[in-house]
Structure 1
Amino acid sequence: MLFAPSGSTRRSRRHLIALTGVAIAAATVLAGCTSDGGSGGSGAGGSSSARAQTLIIAENEVPASFDPAQADNSTVDEVVLPAYDTLVSYDGNKLGGDLATSWKVSADGLSIDVVLHDGVTFHDGTTLTADDVAYTLDRLHTVNIGAASFLTAYKATTVTDPTHLTITLSTPDATFVPALSRVYVVEKALVEKNLGSDNGQAWLATHDAGSGPYVLQKYVSNQSATYAQYAKYWKGFTGQAKKLEFHYFSSAAEESQALKAGDVDIAMDIAPSEWAAYQKDSGFTVDQATTNVGLYAFFNMAGTSTKDKALRQAISMAYDYKSHVSSILKGAGTEMDGVMPTGFGIPTDGVTQPSYDLKAAKQLVDSNGLSGTTVTMTYFKATTEMEQAATLLQSALDQIGLKLKVQAVTYPAYVTMASKASTRPDIAEVYAFPAFPDPSAIMYQNFDSKFIGSGQNWGAYSNPEVDKLVEAAQSSTDESARKADYLKAEQIVTGDYVTINMANSKYVTVFDKRVQGYTYQPSHHQTVDVYAITLSGK
């Protein structure tokens, strides 16, 4: 499992959240050997029998790293899911044990006793123990990147024996156990052997230190990632693919072409205009799943122009939310009632969600002397919904006397831009992917000021009253009180026009009929639970 960059072809690009000099989006990783003696991936170009046993997934965004600490975003979460295990995991919205056979939270909410499965091994054959779990949590707390934002209450871990440990918190946290579903356990000895000066971030960016069902074998910059089954996986195999590959495409059209040609099995970025044709084709399945994911346009609250509330309100009123659902999503979604998707069960009383009203928007522009203002907006490359939303907004703003300049960027590039006030765009289209089914995953992660510049508070929004409310809800175990605090926070956020709440989209996945067992997982949006999938012959 040793990988090396391709010498002089390797180029470095800094990723904000990782704060590391290694950016694998610009690196080529050469194939190594798996622990069970396997070799590089077969790919679509391999023998027919190899292709029949290979699951190939199309994607439009390359991962910023293979370091599981960065799995707070889908591009990394997707590529570490096959290679790592977590203490707990979700099946739909139901939380259950994974590496943990059981856990118990103390009456004061300040400690969690955990019991582990015995006999789990990492990909090099080393037994996974409580020391590895403690090391993983300590490392995440130390590097303070990515998934660390889900575990702000973490204090320490005490190991009793190889299968028993106690996690202590600095304050009660109702979301701590659910958040452990995004903490992928790494092998302590292996990471320490390759620690470097950055707690293993550079090494883990291109290496695998997991215990999951698949071993990372090869990453080819901007092209593909290849995995092979780990033969000694503790859960065993019942027909899963022998090989796994992610192929990266620069457009939805390319993904569709590859899917139709049989070069990929699953595509998650097919343009909505093609869904109907795939639904009529007996060779494919089109899966539409309800989500808690919203598409937002985050205003730069400290921007030269967008710090003006009247401008933000006018832009929000100029967006045609109904057209987004009917024309862009082809009905596969709903309008938002605020910043919170309806699946979290938070009421919308007093929440200020603008309605489409060009006349009123233009009056705001004119009465506040804003006519002729130019704002910039980013969206993610090869994401059809975002691209079309940007075009829709651009047309609307032109009608009310504003100019919108749009720029397509990659997710890692946007994260770097958003890290500094000097490079942060006026508006940025971003999906908010709840890492677990709790309002905290939206209200705390996206709007608490502690996550400005080094988390997912993309608009650099700072409001002490909102911080107080979401942090109180984060620590409370009283569900009624938590919902009340989140509602108050949402009322303030929407009243400040921090975001354009574009739509709550359904998640549409198109896949070959030979793929069996695919199920959308709301806690791992825009990923595939590859271990749940089996393949029929082809």
Structure 2
Amino acid sequence: MNRRNFLKSCILAGVGAPFLLDQLSTIAAAANTKILRIGYAAPVQTLDPIKTVFGPDIISQGMMYARLLKANADQSEVGPGLAESWEISSDGLTYIFKLREGLKFSDGSALTAEDVAFSFNRMRFQKDSVYAAPFQPLKTIEVVDPLTVKFGLDRAFPPFLKLCEIWNTGIVSKKTVTAMGDEAFSAKPDVTSGPFKFVEWKAGDRVIMARNEHYYREGLPHLEGIEFIFVPDVNTGVSMVQAGELDVSMGVPFARMKELEAAGVTIVSEPSSATYDMLINHAKAPFDNLAFRQAVSYGIDRQQINDAVTAGYGTAAASIFSPKLNFFDKEMKVIARDVEKAKELLAKSGVGDPSFTLLTNAGTTDEDKTAVLIQAQLSEIGINVTVNAIDPGQAWTQLVAGEYQAQLNWWYNETTDPDNAVRWCVWGAGDNKSYYTRYNNDEVNSLIDKAAGEPDDAKRAEMYSKIQRICVEEVAQVALYHPSWTSARSAAVTGLVFNLGSQYASIDEADLKG
């Protein structure tokens, strides 16, 4: 594709002129430099790691903020990060981390235990921290000396160590955040701790980053910079990779994977911890009715949706969380579609107008296909589904506000331990109201707390199995399939791994050859 055809294809896809001009200037600037250009189908909304659970925010922030620990590629274990070592007390209530000597932020200022304590205090105790839920047992954070920080827990909590690697524990500069204030920092974080430092955020377009010369891993990163770019349509993103205007396009439609591979495009499918599902609002009719929810669940053919949408790059969902997570109940079976049972449950529900509106993220091919199938499948049992494709940012806003009946969305787990997974999606006592579905079951809430503090893996497995089975029976959400992470990449990209937890874990080791 030449540049003229590229312009034409973008115009047809609805991409505006300012976007194109910026894109072309980026191409010219990056021609002879190692600037990795990554396309994603939703725009960044904030650059403050404690203020978001939105996919593009998490990915971009993972490149700018280093954490105490660093996970390996498959997230099976964590190792040293900013902390070179750590100790855990015999009762599991105290964690002491020793920082590396000579740590610096991107502006050359010292990174100390004060900054670590400040960052964790913001994340855990600040009222507008949106993902403190997994850290409930953390009660005290103490600076022992400039290189040592001590965490106090109120109960044994095995998941804690792995949690010290997730994005929202990214270390920020106490001095910078205090001086700027949260609002200014979230838009322009001038000082960062990760492999890349902030350069510019063009809202609704891209986040531009440059190599952090003071990064703690000597000789890294290899790249000179990164541009994390909002490309509204995933098919446009693939075309841009083919034309050389992007190095990576995230979220390639499954149906195009084999076609693109045959055409010579470098296609990557990586294991994920994701669950793609239909989120349902338990606080709004008709999903406040259990029999109606069950009718919908039995009326949907998960296997057909998985086969049609993922083209073999995913598995139909039997549980609310991924088979990649520890304590996944392997005995659970995918619910087989049962039209007659669904009709009986619909009649039992007594819902006078069996209909709802299903929101989808515009420009997402796989969601379009999923929505059409759900619409057709449920119409056979007498439920009318209106599909409404809207801007991803708007969809997220409505989800958080509870202004929806049903919405196609996905979630993933940051680690292989299921605690933060279940706290995210079905813990009704949490701030996010069970991934904004408003599902709340006291028994499930209690089991989640007990399982997190249980040191015996066999007992943990029993509790997580019960959680999974209750949530499927009560239709906490309609889990559809577990996808892999997909992307199209330039052949020049090397060493880039997108891990189970939706992070470019190896971004500091990634490179562009040639």
TM-score, normalization by structure 1: 0.85
In the alignment, the residues of structure 2 paired with residue 54 and residue 347 of structure 1 have an alpha-carbon distance, to the nearest angstrom, of 39
Percent of pairs with identical residues: 20
Alpha-carbon distance, 1:71 to partner: 5.1
Of 307, 328, 346, which aligns to 1:365? 346
Of 395, 398, 405, which aligns to 1:426? 405
Q: 1:142 to 1:441 in 2, by over 3 A?
A: closer
Alpha-carbon distance, 1:420 to partner: 4.1
In the alignment, the residues of structure 1 paired with residue 52 and residue 79 of structure 2 have an alpha-carbon distance, to the nearest angstrom, of 19
Whether contact under 8 Å (1:252, 1:271) holds in the other structure is yes
Of 243, 246, 251, which aligns to 1:269? 251
Whether contact under 8 Å (1:272, 1:330) holds in the other structure is yes
Q: 1:411 to 1:153 in 2, by over 3 A?
A: farther
Whether contact under 8 Å (1:81, 1:529) holds in the other structure is no
**What's 2:306 paired with?**
325
Of 83, 87, 98, which aligns to 2:64? 83
**What's 2:148 paired with?**
164
Q: 1:455 to 1:410 in 2, by over 3 A?
A: farther
**What's 1:68 paired with?**
49
In the alignment, the residues of structure 2 paired with residue 366 and residue 488 of structure 1 have an alpha-carbon distance, to the nearest angstrom, of 28
- Aligned to 1:225, the other structure's residue is in SS state strand
Whether contact under 8 Å (1:90, 1:523) holds in the other structure is no
- Aligned to 1:513, the other structure's residue is in SS state coil
Of 219, 228, 234, which aligns to 2:216? 234
1:108-128 deviations in Å (ceiling 9; x for gaps):
221101100111111111110
Q: 1:239 to 1:204 in 2, by over 3 A?
A: closer
Whether contact under 8 Å (1:224, 1:246) holds in the other structure is yes
- Aligned to 1:342, the other structure's residue is in SS state coil
Verify: 1:113 aligned to 2:91, yes or no.
no
1:192-226 deviations in Å (ceiling 9; x for gaps):
1112xxxx244223324311121111111211111
In the alignment, the residues of structure 1 paired with residue 321 and residue 254 of structure 2 have an alpha-carbon distance, to the nearest angstrom, of 24
Query: More displaced, 399-408 or 178-187?
Result: 399-408
- Aligned to 2:375, the other structure's residue is in SS state helix
Aligned counterparts, 1:88-167, within 5 A: 88-91=69-72, 92-93=74-75, 94-144=77-127, 145-167=129-151
**What's 2:13 paired with?**
none
Alpha-carbon distance, 1:372 to partner: 4.2
In the alignment, the residues of structure 1 paired with residue 220 and residue 126 of structure 2 have an alpha-carbon distance, to the nearest angstrom, of 37
**What's 2:450 paired with?**
472
Whether contact under 8 Å (2:298, 2:337) holds in the other structure is yes
Whether contact under 8 Å (1:520, 1:528) holds in the other structure is yes
In the alignment, the residues of structure 2 paired with residue 294 and residue 315 of structure 1 have an alpha-carbon distance, to the nearest angstrom, of 18
Amino acid at match of 2:416: P
In the alignment, the residues of structure 1 paired with residue 408 and residue 452 of structure 2 have an alpha-carbon distance, to the nearest angstrom, of 26
- Aligned to 1:49, the other structure's residue is in SS state coil
Whether contact under 8 Å (1:365, 1:371) holds in the other structure is no
Aligned length: 487
Amino acid at match of 1:431: W
Query: More displaced, 270-279 or 356-365?
Result: 356-365
**What's 2:15 paired with?**
none
In the alignment, the residues of structure 2 paired with residue 135 and residue 242 of structure 1 have an alpha-carbon distance, to the nearest angstrom, of 29
**What's 1:179 paired with?**
163
Alpha-carbon distance, 1:80 to partner: 1.0
- Aligned to 2:165, the other structure's residue is in SS state helix
Aligned counterparts, 1:517-536, within 5 A: 517-524=495-502, 527=504, 529-536=506-513
**What's 1:222 paired with?**
204
**Which segments of 5 or more consecutive residues in structure 1 lack a partner in the other structure?**
1-27, 29-40
In the alignment, the residues of structure 1 paired with residue 434 and residue 325 of structure 2 have an alpha-carbon distance, to the nearest angstrom, of 19
Alpha-carbon distance, 1:269 to partner: 2.0
In the alignment, the residues of structure 1 paired with residue 328 and residue 425 of structure 2 have an alpha-carbon distance, to the nearest angstrom, of 19
1:305-352 deviations in Å (ceiling 9; x for gaps):
111111111111121212222211111111122213222243537857
Amino acid at match of 1:268: M
- Aligned to 2:324, the other structure's residue is in SS state helix
Whether contact under 8 Å (2:286, 2:351) holds in the other structure is no
- Aligned to 1:63, the other structure's residue is in SS state coil
- Aligned to 2:64, the other structure's residue is in SS state coil
Whether contact under 8 Å (2:427, 2:433) holds in the other structure is no
**Which segments of 5 or more consecutive residues in structure 2 lack a partner in the other structure?**
1-17, 19-23
Aligned counterparts, 1:254-293, within 5 A: 254-282=236-264, 284-293=265-274
Alpha-carbon distance, 1:281 to partner: 3.5
1:416-454 deviations in Å (ceiling 9; x for gaps):
323445x2x2222221210111111322221111225x3
Q: What is the root-mean-square deviation in Å for CA atoms of aligned residues?
A: 2.2
In the alignment, the residues of structure 2 paired with residue 101 and residue 455 of structure 1 have an alpha-carbon distance, to the nearest angstrom, of 36
In the alignment, the residues of structure 1 paired with residue 299 and residue 460 of structure 2 have an alpha-carbon distance, to the nearest angstrom, of 33
TM-score, normalization by structure 2: 0.89
- Aligned to 2:236, the other structure's residue is in SS state helix
- Aligned to 1:302, the other structure's residue is in SS state coil
Of 348, 354, 369, which aligns to 2:329? 348
In the alignment, the residues of structure 2 paired with residue 208 and residue 474 of structure 1 have an alpha-carbon distance, to the nearest angstrom, of 37
